[in-house]
Amino acid sequence: MHSMAPGLTLVALLPESFDGAEALLEDLSAAEAAFERLCELTGAAAESLGTPHGWRACVDVGGTLLLLHGKGETWSISAGAGMDLGDAMSAARRLHGLLGAEVDSWDLDR
């Protein structure tokens, strides 16, 4: 899928993608702002990421796959099973910064 941010690409989310995932950044605020920015940066249609209970996405951040899940006012970033957690945490922090770059109240200390 097309991406407007270098090194950030939305990839196909499979039903088993979240099996064995390791949480990296949890209970992040501003889920709606993160979701809107993710759609903007990746060119994804909002309805393609929606679930009955929020939204989910799989994002390639510079070669590291991250799983995102939003529900209500909070959202989380996880590493897929088998991912190097150090690389995944670095990618998660980068993604968190990219998604919040234009949100005034964003907590960039993650």
Q: What is the pLDDT of residues 28-66, one digit of tens each?
A: 988 999 999 999 988 888 888 988 889 999 999 998 999
Q: Is residue 110 part of a domain?
A: no
Burial state string for 83-103 with b = 16 or more CB within 10 A and e = fewer than 16 = beeeebbebbbbbbebbbeee
Contacts of 19 (CB under 8 A, 6+ apart): 81
| Cα first-last separation, the chain | 27
Q: Which domain holds residue 43?
A: 21-100
Q: Is residue 9 part of a domain?
A: no
| Number of domain units in the chain | 1
Q: Is residue 6 part of a domain?
A: no
pLDDT tens readout for residues 81-92:
999 999 999 999
Q: Is residue 15 part of a domain?
A: no
